[in-house]
Amino acid sequence: MSKGLSLNNPESVSICLCGQAGQGIQTVEHLLTRIFKLAGFNVFATKEYMSRVRGGMNSTSIRISPGPVRAAASTIDILIPLNKGALQHVERNISSHTVILADKEMIGGDIDQTKYKFVDIPFTGTAAGIGDKIYSNVVAVGTMAGLFGIELSMASKYVEKFFSTKSSDIVQKNLAALKKGFDFGAELVKSSKIKFEIAADADVEDQVLLNGAEAVALGAIAGGCNFIASYPMSPSTGVLAFLARHAETFDIIAEQAEDEIAAINMGLGAWYAGARAMVTTSGGGFALMIEGVSLAAMLESPMVIHLAQRPGPATGLPTRTEQADLVLALYAGHGEFPRVIFAPGKIEDAFILTQRAFNLADKYQVPVFILTDQYFIDSYYNTAAPDLSKFKIEKHITRTNKDYRRYELTKGGVSPRGVPGFGKGLVVVDSDEHDTEGHITEDLELRIRMVDKRLKKGELLKKDNIPPELTGPKNYKNLIVCWGSTRNIAEEALQKIGRNDTALLHFKQVYPLAAQTAEYLQKAKKTIIIENNAGSQFAKLIKLHTGIDIDKKILKYNGLSFFVEELTEKLKEALN
Amino acid sequence: MDTKVFDMNDIDIAWCPGCGNFPILKTLKRALAELQIKPTDIVLVSGIGQAAKAPHYFRTNVFNGLHGRALPAATAIKAANPAMTVIAESGDGDMYGEGGNHFIHTIRRNPNITNIVHNNMVYGLTKGQASPTSQKGFVTPVQVRGVFLEPFNPLAVAIALDASFVARAFSGDIEQTADIIKQAIEHDGYALVDIFQPCVTFNRLNTYQWFKEHTYYLDDHDPSDRQKAFEKATETEKLPLGIFYKSPQKPSFEENIGIYDDKQVPLYQRDLNKEELSNLIETFKMRL
Ligand SMILES: Cc1ncc(C[n+]2csc(CCOP(=O)(O)OP(=O)(O)O)c2C)c(N)n1
């Protein structure tokens, strides 16, 4: 056994696969995460990819661990480059501990073998022997299964299930590729060349493996969503595709609109007629929806908007990540009106918050945002399955009577919402300023009452909000603040720092801010904010609402998420 | 049914005296009354403009949305509750200019709605600028050298897209227009009724008199003949009126989406199937 090639019972093992778009990296990610989960390992996977259909360089990083693992790490324990150039693409993350499993012939001069730990595995040759180079990714899956002592029969069953719609010849060839790979992996263990031992975790079996897009979409279904109109735009499209895939089962109308303007106006028409609608989009598409956000406010229509952020301005980096559209969501729409913005940090929160978004939007007749980003949308991990008995769909529609008035003035500002055809009344909504019946008016006294009515709902929303979540000691000296998708990365970094004077405060509702916000910040001697943007947008929002300046800012805006190791270092620095 | 059921009390109508919108309002009330459709079963959807105010003068359900955006909202309203008679109504600027993309794609989508366009060949509400259908040479405070853009031909576009029902009417003729609107409403699928409407304030070119002199009714025309319909739609010397085209029966958007295949219940009366959701979540446990 060559020295340093083994890690016994490590906290977690990071596997990185890298290759061209169209080479089946997605398939490897899918198969490996499922097979690891079946084996009882905790799994986390995330990917980074280029905005193209073929070629380029994409990588997927999978972490497996005996305990929960939920954040992106940069360290690579095992690297599988699937084509020439792959090594260079991830070189900055290769260390002296990295074991590179590669087809020597294929990567050729890409690697200085004396510099790295290198194990030659003939992925391509083996695949070619089976019938086609394209099976090399499944050979790699097999190698991993062998290396981690996973039962071949179990892995085979999953692979068979995955390819079940393909011809039996293709299934057999994939199984053969898996077996060959498995033998390579098992042989490495047997010859003590490499040894990784991950203990199975009994909790994993009953958990669900979800990515952010799936969690948002499932939360929408649980919230009673039965209408989605959207226009494709990375990284938001997964939610539309998911709901379209399950439309038949759940009586959902899932329509690809001609543009984002149509999408949100369809959503508003749908809510008006009694559906529960959402739109999913990213920054540029959302920019087109903005007049619709304002319309939702004026009609006092519920609306649920999933805004999956990617780096801008304009087209920016279409397949990368950023948290730079908070300000956009916060101020989008002309005129003054209330709104709610959620920003899930945990996969289960994406489910819970999206479910809640429908009830809240319906209850207060306001637009509710779910703000995610590419990193969150494309990352997977296993987590407890949502307990459906805890979720209720709250429908806030009334049967109208003959003298129904859509905008009746009430104490709280919320008027009972009727839908056309349900009852004896007429439902009139208008984007112009309107009277209580919904008809156009230029009565300037009434204007004041209508503005007040709409804004009053904002006061109610301030009380009906989700407080930030504190992790770590209650009597902290240092407080790390974050929001949205950085949560799990920050939490793991906090654990790594291991200080008992430092806590983490995560906001999953970023607007309206909870009343406790100032109190949390005042208690700290030092505050540090983590944001995946350049302008520290959330720190500015906090300042605006509490008057408090955050002491230190850790910002990242190169298009990638933070990584645990990097954030740990930055936090250490900031804490000293 | 008496058209009075649609009358609003005490309203201050924002149209100029003699405006071509008045007869359209009257005609629509008449068509709906003759079809015996109750106010509670209708949704009038409009955008913004003088024409788009029409629903406020009509006692029924109203969705008065944004400039150019009536069609997407109308499509969704119909899809969420197909029992409603949904009519999207606005001006030519709204439907063909700001909403031009929706016009094209709504035709492709083919919801079972009626699309009434008050075509006065000018922007009324914003005080007299050119609209997509303004005639060449039309001088306005913005088009100071006269319009030189090719006028948009909504009928030809609709026929080219194989729209389900394509008609043109003249607001000065209540009898025939009511008849065309009735057929449009009864037609199963998207129905366009472009209505020539004189603007007495901002369009001194296309007056009542001008429309009378420059239009004629299609006679002996077979609306299933698409080639002929297209030919008629591109005539400019004298502008034909009537039903130009009806495409062979094709399924509407509501029929295509599948959720009404075995039950007609509108979305607001449906509930989540929790058992199915539970089953779906179960699949993410990735068991073999
Ligand atoms: C997004 C947006 N742009 C511009 C306007 C201003 N605007 C209101 S109505 C209108 C055009 C009106 O023309 P048309 O639709 O033909 O209706 P008409 O008033 O002639 O009946 C315009 C440009 C607006 N309300 N919204």
Out of B76, B271, B278, name the one closest to residue A269 (CB): B76
Closest CA to A349 of A361, A357, A340: A357
Assess B81–A contact: CB distance below 8 Å, yes or no. Answer: yes
Domain boundaries of chain A, sorted by first residue = 5-206, 209-390, 397-464, 469-575
CATH superfamily of A209-390: Thiamin diphosphate (ThDP)-binding fold, Pyr/PP domains (3.40.50.970)
Expressed in angstroms and rounded, the spacing between residue A182 Cα and the centre of ligand 1 is: 67
B71 contact residues in A (CB cutoff 8 A) = 262
Q: How far is CA A227 from CA A217, A358, B81, in A?
A: 12, 12, 12
CATH label of the domain that carries residue B131: 3.40.50.970
- Is the fold of A5-206 the same as that of A469-575? no
- CB contact (8 A) between residue B65 and residue A295: yes
Contacts for A96 with CB less than 8 Å, ≥ 6 apart: A4, A116, A117
> What region does A153 belong to: left with phi over 0, alpha with psi -120 to 50, or beta?
alpha
Q: Between chains, do B280 and A258 touch, taking CB under 8 Å as contact?
A: no
Res A51: pLDDT: 78
Closest Cα to residue A243, out of A261, A262, A263, A216?
Answer: A216
CB atoms within 10 A of CB A145: 29
Q: How many CB pairs under 8 A join A and B?
A: 208
Question: What is the distance in A from the centroid of ligand 1 to the CA of B95?
Answer: 10
Ligand 1, atom 4, residue with closest C-alpha: B67
Closest residue, chain B, to A31 (C-alpha): B286
Across the interface, of A258, A274, A292, the residue whose CB is closest to B101 is: A258
What CATH superfamily is the domain A5-206? Pyruvate-ferredoxin oxidoreductase, PFOR, domain III (3.40.920.10)
The per-residue pLDDT for A477 is: 98
Write out the H or E segment, with its range, that includes residue B123. Answer: strand B122-123
Pocket test for ligand 1, best of B21, B53, B98 (most atoms within 8 A of CB): B98
Residues 177-206 of A with CB under 8 A from B: 205-206
Q: A366: closest CA among A321, A449, A303? A: A303
Nearest residue (CA) to ligand 1, atom 24: B67
> Contact A215/A485 with Cβ under 8 angstroms?
no
Mean pLDDT score across all residues of chain B:
97
Q: Do B64 and A397 touch (CB under 8 A)?
A: no
- How far does residue A476's CA lie from ligand 1's centre (Å)? 58
Q: In chain B, whose CA is at the least distance from the CA of A404?
A: B61
Give the per-residue pLDDT at A434. 98
B56 within 8 A of A439, measured Cβ to Cβ: yes
Which residues in chain B have their CB less than 8 angstroms from residue A295's CB?
Answer: 65-66, 69
Indicate whether B171 pLDDT > 60: yes
Work out the minimum CA distance from B132 to partner chain A, whole angstroms. 20
Tell me whether residues A295 and B258 touch, CB distance under 8 A.
no
Rounded Cα gap, residues A15 and A72, in angstroms: 11
pLDDT of residue A89: 86
Statement: residue B24 has pLDDT above 50? yes
Measured in degrees and rounded to the nearest 5, phi and psi for residue A482 equal -150, 170
Burial of A193 per CB tally in 10 Å (0-12, 13-18, 19+): middle
CA distance A426 to B171: 27
Contact residues for B81 (Cβ-Cβ < 8 A; gap 6+): A273, A274, A419, A420, A421, B266, B267, B268
The CATH code for residues A469-575 is 3.40.50.920
CB neighbours of residue A201 within 10 Å: 16
Residue A418 touches partner B, C-beta closer than 8 Å: no
State residue B183's pLDDT score: 98
- For A395-446, the three-class secondary structure string (H helix, E strand, C coil) is CCEEEECCCCCCCCCCCCCCCCEEEEEEECCCCEEECCCECCCCCECCCHHH
A421 part of contact set with chain B, CB < 8 Å:
yes
- H helices of A163-316, in order, are 168-190, 212-222, 237-245, 247-250, 260-272, 283-299
Q: Which residues of B touch A277 (CB under 8 A)?
A: 76
Q: Give me the pLDDT at residue A53, please.
A: 75
Pick the closest to residue A86 from A71, A73, A103 (CA basis): A103
Measured CA angle at B102 (ends B97, B105), to 5 deg? 130
Domain of residue B140, residue span? 3-287
Q: How many domains does chain B have?
A: 1
Question: Does pTM top 0.90 for this prediction?
Answer: yes
Site to probe by mutation for ligand 1, drawn from B24, B57, B67 as the one with most ligand atoms within 8 Å of Cβ, is B67
Tens-binned pLDDT, residue by residue, of chain A (576 aa): 233 344 444 689 999 999 887 778 889 999 999 999 999 999 999 998 877 777 788 899 999 999 999 999 999 999 999 888 888 888 889 998 899 999 887 776 666 767 788 899 999 899 999 999 889 999 999 999 999 999 999 999 999 999 999 999 999 999 999 999 999 999 999 998 888 889 999 999 999 999 999 999 999 999 999 999 999 999 999 999 999 999 999 999 999 999 999 999 999 999 999 999 999 999 999 999 999 999 999 999 999 999 999 999 999 999 999 999 999 999 999 999 999 999 999 999 999 999 999 999 999 999 999 999 999 999 999 999 999 999 999 999 999 999 999 999 999 999 999 999 999 999 999 999 999 999 999 999 999 999 999 999 999 999 999 999 999 999 999 999 999 999 999 999 999 999 999 999 999 999 999 999 999 999 999 999 999 999 999 999 999 999 999 999 999 999 999 999 999 999 999 999
Q: Which of A253, A272, A388 sits opposite B257 (nearest CB)?
A: A253
pLDDT of residue A38: 96
CB-CB neighbors (< 8 A) of A207 in chain B: 285
Task: Return the residue of B nearest to A435 by Cα.
Answer: B56
pLDDT value at residue A110: 65
Please write the tens of the pLDDT for every residue from B41-80.
999 999 999 999 999 999 999 999 999 999 999 999 999 9
**Can you give B60-96 as a three-state secondary structure string?**
CEEEECCCCCHHHHHHHHHHHCCCCEEEEEEEHHHHH
Rg (CA), chain A: 26
Q: pLDDT at position A10, please? A: 66
